[in-house]
Amino acid sequence: MTMDIVFDIGLVALLISIAVWSIVARDAFSAIMIFMVYGLLLSLAWVRLAAVDIALTEAAIGAGVTGMLLLNALARLRMTGSDAAPAALPLRIAAGVLCMLVSAALSALVLFPSGEPTTLAPAVMARLGESGLENPVAGVLFVFRSLDTLLEKVVLLLALLAVWSLAPDGLWGGIPGLRVFAEKKSVLVFLAQTLPPIGIMVAIYMCWVGASEPGGAFQGGAVLAAMWILVMVAGLRKVPSIDSQSVRLAMAVGPVVFLAIGIAGIFVANSFLAYPSDYAKPLIVVIEATLTLSIGVTLGLLAAGPPEKVQQP
């Protein structure tokens, strides 16, 4: 038991020092790199907290795609010189005191909790078997709180619409300005030819196995998005215009199927998003599969950004 706590203390010390370094680093490039390292270490922390599903999601989305997004943005901003006018000393001292108070209050909440820990785990495990799933987190996501998951998918779509709407009016329907490095016979092209088949297999496996072990639609979708971005950046496939019917169909199929099954549940199983007890597992598998595709396409397009070139006729 003591070796575990030594490892945890080391991990926490590393996490905090890396987060501090990311905030106080001088130039933005190193800050973003350090943030990606921080995200990967955070996945280790999630495993220590017995939340392997979250560790997978954090590694894929939190560290991977977010870091890529920020690096892309930094490259476009073409930093000329360092930060403009760092905040004045009185502001920094005031902010420091405020933040220390916030941290102290939260630590007090953690160290001196009031009352016994309440937990919903027995309630979840009591009814989980009826749906045919064995992974309790998947059960919560797709059976007990499936409305949250449906709305979360809609939030992703709304964010994508918001990003697209930031383009100037004349460019609506154009091609996103993802920077492409398409040199023939380069190492990047070789990587983009050999890694995606493996990545797609890993994504499908993660989605499929999420019913009984850690995994699921979001993790698989993030890996799918990463493979698609790799293929686009290497120039092996053109970046699609936002008008493209197949892309819009792929984005819509996840939430539409989810919503349709939910509405059908009103007639077949007496309430919105309820599953008939014999068909629960197949329906959930269909929802997860279509959701993986939609999430992959949506995350990839979110990383590609708003349209910047008019589509060639």
Partner 1 sequence: MNIVLDIFTIAAVSAGAFVFMAGTVGLLRFPDELTRLHALTKADNLGLGLIVFGLLPQMDNMFAALKLISVWLLVQFSGAMVTQLIARTIRRGMNA
Partner 2 sequence: MNVVMLFGICAAVLVGLGLFGLIVRPHPLRKILALNVLSSGVFLLFGVIARRGTAAGLGGDPVPQAMVITGIVVAFSSTAMAVALVLRLFKESGAVTLDVAEAEPAKRDGG
Q: Does 229 bind partner 2 (CB under 8 A)?
A: no
Pairing state between β 175-176 and 307-309: antiparallel
- How many other C-beta atoms lie within 10 A of the C-beta of residue 202? 15
Torsion of the alpha carbons at 6, 9, 12 and 17, rounded to the nearest 10: -110
Q: How far is CA 233 from CA 6, 125, 181, 227, in A?
A: 42, 44, 6, 10
Considering only CA atoms, which of 176, 191, 184 is closest in space to residue 227?
A: 191
How many residues lie near partner 1 (CB under 8 A)? 7
**Residue 187 binding partner per list partner 2, partner 1, none, with a CB distance cut-off of 5 to 8 Å that depends on partner kind:** partner 1
Q: How many residues bind partner 2 (CB under 8 A)?
A: 95
Selected from 190, 238, 260, 268, the binder of partner 1 by CB under 8 A is 190
215 vs 123: CA distance, rounded Å: 22
- Segment near partner 1 (CB under 8 A), from 23-31, 69-77, 147-155, 191-199? 191-199
Under the criterion CB under 8 A, does residue 6 sit at the interface with partner 2? no
The residue type at 107: S
* Token couple for 62: 């939190």
Three-class SS of residue 308? strand
**To the nearest whole angstrom, how small is the minimum distance from the Cβ of residue 222 to partner 1?**
16
Distance CA 227, CA 214 (A): 21
37 contributes a contact to partner 2 by CB under 8 A: no
Q: How far is the CB of 230 from partner 2 (least distance, A)?
A: 18
- Report the site for partner 2 in 274-293 (rule: CB under 8 A): none
Q: How far is the CB of 3 from partner 1 (least distance, A)?
A: 12
Can residue 188 be called a binding residue for partner 1 (CB under 8 A)? yes
Residue 152 in contact with partner 2, rule: CB under 8 A: yes
CB 182 within 8 A of CB 192: no
Task: Report the partner that residue 154 touches, choosing among partner 2, partner 1, none (CB closer than 5 to 8 A by kind).
Answer: none
Would you say 196 or 300 has its CB closer to partner 2?
Answer: 300
Q: Which stretch binds partner 2 (CB under 8 A): 11-19, 196-204, 232-240, 247-255?
A: 11-19
Q: Which does 244 bind (CB under 5 to 8 A by kind): partner 2, partner 1, none?
A: none
DSSP, collapsed to helix, strand or coil, labels residue 307 as strand
Shortest Å distance, C-beta 228 to partner 1 = 16
Spatial neighbors of 283 by CB under 8 A, at least 6 apart, are 261, 275
Residues in contact with partner 1 by CB under 8 A are 187-188, 190-191, 194-195, 198
